[in-house]
A = this chain, B = another copy of it.
Amino acid sequence: MKITCSKNDLLNGINIALRAVPGKTTLPILESFLIDASGDIRIITNDNDMGIETCVDGKIESPGKIAINARIFSEIVRKLPDNQVTLDTSSNYKMKVTCEDSEFVLNGNNPNEFPELPQTNTENKISISQFTLKELIRQTIFSIAQNDANAIMRGELFEIDGKMIKVISLDSHRISIRKEELAFEYEPCKVIVPGKTLNEISRILGSEKEDIVDITFDKKFIKFAFGNTVVVSRLIEGEYFNVEQMISSDYETSVKVNRSDFFNSIDRAFTLTREGEKKPVILDIQDGEMNIDISSSVGSMNSHLYINKEGKDLVIGFNPRFFIEALKVIDDEEISIYFVNSNAPCFIKSKEGEYIYIILPVNINR
């Protein structure tokens, strides 16, 4: 293999591909980039749960491929001058890297040892804007249960029905739901995508509304294709929770409040929480006013906000972190919160149902 490409194109490809290089692995070949210049120039990585394949613009002088340590090669390319880089392999899995006056020779590995990326049977296919997918992930990913024994809770449900996509994540204390309209209509289908995959994907996705991701999936795998890049991931198998039955539109108290004022108050209350102490923030909701209190071993805080309240007065306690994480990802200036009583979950809900954040209260024994 002998190829030439610009340092910057190569580095862009490297930065994308690095996302699927495992930190620790029992299969050392997975710490490599498979650089494959059989057809076009592709960098391929695979951590066994997720694989990335990204194309790099460049000139192929002679086709071929090699496996090369991903971290060492990345670090070298990062420090090369901004100029053309030539990669030239020899028969014993060595690769010469030449750029201006610098010449490296790196020890590589047999490219045939590198496991192939899984192929999806394109049973289902949808298209969505990169920006929208990135937002859907950002606004739900925080409430997956990262280390739960139940694999389903470590993923997010992607549910498509007609022109609607719904993304749901939940742990044992809260549920996040985001809906968005798609440009086209699709058959109903649903899959559970691992949170880890979504985290990595959202770091590679662009922020332009016009740029599209094509998503295809079968029962076992999902493939995201966008720009020069394809990401393939295992799906989490199983039946997701029936979230609809947990949602109720009944309420006894509704509150309209300025989002950033509310966020700032709860965020300040959070400074007094100590790990292991689990002291709740207490909302005392009255006509026109909400008092926010917390009391822990280090001190106490009281603050109050002007609100627009309908229905009954209510005193209810929450883990402040759950409110902070939901309020942080909502873009609306004013939010509506719906309560039933001090033992039932509250709903932060937009008018059109684009988002619903459900948070369980903490028993405050009043």
Contacts and interface: CB of A to CB of B under 8 A. Distances in A.
A230 interface: no
Contacts of A265: 101-102
A284 to B, nearest CB: 14
A107 B298 contact: yes
A299 B106 contact: yes
Contact of A264 (B81, B271, B272): B81
A320 to B, nearest CB: 12
A133 B101 CA distance: 38
Given A102-B268, A268-B102, A298 B69 contact: yes
Interface stretch (A122-130, A163-171, A301-309): A301-309
A104 interface: yes
Interface in A286-324: 297-305
Contacts of A271: 72, 75-76, 79
Contact of A80 (B101, B102, B268, B305): B268
A80 B101 CA distance: 55
Nearest to A107: B299
- Copies per complex of this chain: 2
Interface in A72-102: 72, 75-76, 79-81, 94, 101-102
A105 B271 CA distance: 12
Interface string A212-233: 0000000000000000000000
B301 A101 contact: no
Kindly name the residue among A75, A272, A299 whose own CB sees the greatest number of chain B CB atoms within 10 A: A299
A103 interface: yes
A104 B273 CA distance: 13
A119 B95 CA distance: 63
A264 B99 CA distance: 13
Contacts of A69: 298
Nearest to A270: B79
Interface of A: 69, 72, 75-76, 79-81, 94, 101-107, 264-265, 267-268, 271-272, 297-305
A-B pairs, 6 with minimum CB distance: A106-B299, A102-B303, A75-B271, A104-B301, A105-B300, A79-B268
24 contacts: A69-B298, A72-B271, A72-B298, A75-B271, A76-B268, A76-B271, A76-B272, A79-B264, A79-B267, A79-B268, A79-B271, A80-B268, A94-B299, A101-B304, A101-B305, A102-B268, A102-B303, A104-B299, A104-B300, A105-B299, A106-B298, A106-B299, A107-B297, A107-B298
